[in-house]
Amino acid sequence: MPEPVERDSRGILDPWLLRQRVSFTRHPVPPVLDGIVDFVWAVRWALPPGGNHRQEVLPHPSANVSVGTPDARTGRTASEAVLNGVYLDLVDRELGGTGWTVAAKSTVGGFGAFVDDVSALRGRVVGLDTVAGLEASTLLAAMGGDDADARAAEPARVEVLVAALEEALAQADPARVAQARDVAAVARIAETDREVRRLDDLAARSGTGARALQRSFARCAGVSPTYVLRRYRLLEAAEAVRDGARVSWAEVAGSLGYADQAHLVRDFRAALGRTPEAYARAVRAHAR
DSSP 138-154: HHHHHH--TTS-HHHHH
Average pLDDT value over all residues in the chain: 94
Q: Where are the domains of the chain?
A: 15-172, 175-287
pLDDT score of 255: 93
Over residues 34-58, the pLDDT tens digits come to 999 999 999 999 999 989 999 999 9
Pairing label, strands 53-57, 91-95: antiparallel
Instruction: Give pLDDT tens digits for 6-27.
Output: 899 999 998 988 988 999 999 9
Q: Rounded mean pLDDT of 266-272? A: 95
Nearest to 213 by CA among 64, 107, 205, 174: 205
**CATH fold for the domain made of 175-287:** Arc Repressor Mutant, subunit A (1.10.10)
Give me the sheet containing 80-84, strands edge to edge.
Answer: 23-27, 37-46, 98-106, 64-68, 80-84, 125-127
This prediction has a pTM of: 0.94
Residue 230: CB partners within 8 Å, gap ≥ 6? 267
Q: Is the pLDDT of residue 288 over 70?
A: no
Q: How would you classify the pairing of strands 98-106 and 64-68?
A: antiparallel
User: What percent of the chain lies above the pLDDT cut of 90?
Assistant: 86
Average the pLDDT over 81-92 and give the result. Answer: 96
Task: Report, as an integer, the average pLDDT of 258-285.
Answer: 93
pLDDT band at 133 (very low <50, low <70, confident <90, very high): confident
Type of residue numbered 31: P
The pLDDT of 208-235, averaged and rounded, is: 97
User: What's the pLDDT tens digit per position in 164-217?
Assistant: 999 999 999 999 999 999 999 999 999 999 899 999 999 999 999 999 999 999
Residues in the chain: 288
121 vs 266: CA distance, rounded Å: 27
Q: What is the pLDDT of residue 183?
A: 98
Is 286 within 8 Å of 17 (Cβ atoms)? yes
Q: Is the pLDDT of residue 71 over 90?
A: yes
Flag whether pLDDT at 129 surpasses 90: no
Selection from 260, 189, 269 nearest residue 229 by Cα:
189
Percent of the chain with pLDDT over 70: 100
